[in-house]
Amino acid sequence: MRFITKLLVFLFLVSASFLASAQDQPKIDSLFQELRTSKQDTNKVILLYDLSREFFNSDISRAEKYSNRALFLSEKLGFKKGIALSYNNLGIINYYKAIYSVALSYHDRSLELMSEIGDRKGMAGSHNNKGAVYTQQGDYSLAIEEYLSSLRILEEIGDVQGVGRSYNNIGLVYYLQGNYPEAKGYYARALNILEGTKDENLIADILNNMGIIAFEDGEYDESLDYHMRSLNNRERTGNQRGTASSFTNIGDVYAAQEAFAKALEFQKKAYDIQNELGDKAGMLSSLRGIGTVLSLTNKNEEALEYMKEVLELATEIGAKKELRDTYNDISNIYTRMGEYKRALTYKDRYAQLKDTLFSEQTSEIATNLEAKFESEKKSKEIEILKRENEIQELQLGRNRILIISFTIGLVLALISVVIYARVNRERKKALELLQRQNESIKRQKEEKEVLLKEIHHRVKNNLQVINSLIRLQCAFTDDKVALELFDECQNRIISMALIHEKMYEAHDLSNINLREYVNELSGNLLRSYRLNQRIELKIDVASMKLSLDTLVPLGLLLNEMISNSLKHAFKGRDEGLITVNLGKNDQGLFELIVGDNGVGLPKDFTFQSANTLGMELIDTLTSQLDGKISRVDREGSFFKIEFIGLEKERLDVKQAMQNTIA
């Protein structure tokens, strides 16, 4: 059984001035008193900023309120440092609220302003905070990159504590990747740097992290030593929350060593402190720890009492995740007691709440993404329509000027040659005006094209966000089949995102280069499957351009066929070859041949007999391209698809419109 080890995810979300700490009520009262008598100047901005930070750990809504007030006043005063600090606070607040895309946006703006005013420590803080967001999103390479940027600046300005925090953060990323030796190395470097700073709370947190690494490695004596050292530091500084956390971790280590009496003693010590502090979230952890130890010592009735107390407390504070896990704990206890009917009842409750939590999180994330995407899309559409109206108005204005010029010229020509010369001058001025207007129209058309490209760019970005969300949701299941389905879904999303990326890069928005797209798509798929075999890709695609209407189903079709080869064709083999050929045949049809030299398919294989989603998609996408698919009699598995594509449909529509106009 896995014990409830409490990892301190210490991300050091620092701003340009200090690290957020627990709420200090006397300090809050003092800040409010100063705020009442302060003028509308930069000092008031700093007061609002400090007040926001004090509410970080107790009331995130009030923290956001005072950050927004600080931002409003800073912008009114033109106080760039205040604007940057406010952006930093709002970024951290959205990080706590798990709205990571918004958090990144705020930290990017904070970094830009900090760079502009030359605040090196503020720049380091912004890089660090971006790294924290990427860590939560699972983008570990980007997280490491941001932490290293922060580290370089902190080393240059001689901020020893900041350097130690950066090492700790890098260690945390390696821990989350399961690379415990690297994580332990960075924690050790952080500890070595910080031991001379006398920052005992920070040293205690790193000792705590090192203790958890040792626990994961099964080095229980070493883990206990780290946690005891961390506990000593926290007790010396009067850090009650930290002390309770250490007691919980020490209890977990003793439980793993089957020293159940000591485990129970430390879990109860942790609970007493958390109860005194009113830390209900911490009380949940300790109560579960006590119940777990009692269950392991066959005191199942007592264990059930503690677990039911956990249920009451979790229900009271709305801690659904803890509620779900406790249902599972109680089910396991009843199973050991042989009361299988009760065990099944609690297992059902666990499963229902697990599904509910997953659905709520997925729904909330999807709703936020959809609203953000629709808002951006409508904004761009409105901007495009506005530009089109301006172009039409300019064209009407030009026509009016031409008519007026012609009329004036005709009348003046009848009066005299002198007036005719004057008309010529007027016409020259009108032509110059028209030229300027034509240049303006051309520029506005170019802006319209830029806007369309931006839409493709945003669509691509949102598809990548959805892809990241799917990757995050994988953490909610251990089901290998479900994980494989998630991977396939991600590859399909990547193939569509790649199309929009190519549309964004293309000079001509109506077409993109097919050869580049197929090569990049194939390479992405090969990298995503991370096979231990030597798989070679042989791509032969004629240089041609296709519209988005044809390219989307074609890209998905290639994704499915290449994925099938990578998953099934080379089982039991060390190497293989996947071939993709695309061109036009003598009948003017597009001809796609995809195959591999793998184990092959049964001779009686048909798409009707292959009852899989992948094969159904291949058949459906072929029909969508107005094509037909057939097997090629070659070693391995090869298929030929001949299709007209939607290019032909677009030409038909264009011809029909021309005939109607004629």
> What residue ranges do the domains of the chain occupy?
239-338, 366-470, 524-653
**CA distances to 121, 149, 151, 160, 187 from 156, in Å:** 10, 11, 9, 10, 21
Q: pLDDT, tens digit, for every residue of 283-323?
A: 888 888 898 888 888 888 988 998 888 888 888 877 777 78
**Confidence at 449, pLDDT banded by 50, 70, 90:** low
The Cα–Cα gap between 245 and 9 comes to 12
Considering 75-79, 282-286, 387-391, the range whose residues carry the highest mean pLDDT is: 75-79
Q: How many CA atoms lie within 13 A of 343 on its CB side?
A: 11
> Taking the model in full, what pTM does it have?
0.46
Question: What whole-number distance in Å separates Cα of residue 608 and Cα of residue 630?
Answer: 13
- What's the pLDDT score for residue 17? 33
CA dihedral sign of residues 423, 426, 428, 433: negative
CATH architecture of 239-338: Alpha Horseshoe (1.25)
Residue 642, H or E segment? strand 637-643
Cβ count within 10 A of residue 274:
25
Least confident interval from 277-281, 595-599, 652-656: 652-656
Phi and psi of 584, rounded to 5°?
Answer: -120, 140
510: which 2 tokens? 């109506």
What's the pLDDT score for residue 367? Answer: 44
pLDDT band at 114 (very low <50, low <70, confident <90, very high): very high
- Per-residue confidence band for 430, with pLDDT thresholds at 50, 70 and 90: confident
pLDDT tens per residue across span 485-525: 676 676 667 766 666 666 556 555 556 677 887 888 888 88
pLDDT at 657: 46
Residue 594, SS3?
strand
Answer CATH for 524-653 from 3.40.50.1820, 3.40.1030.10, 3.40.640.10, 3.30.565.10: 3.30.565.10
Distance CA 71, CA 53 (A): 14
Percent of the chain scoring above 70 in pLDDT: 76
Instruction: Supply angle C-alpha 113, 119, 125, rounded to 5.
Output: 85
Check residue 85 and give left, alpha or beta (phi > 0: left; psi -120 to 50: alpha). alpha
Q: Quickly count: other Cβ atoms within 10 Å of residue 534's Cβ.
A: 11
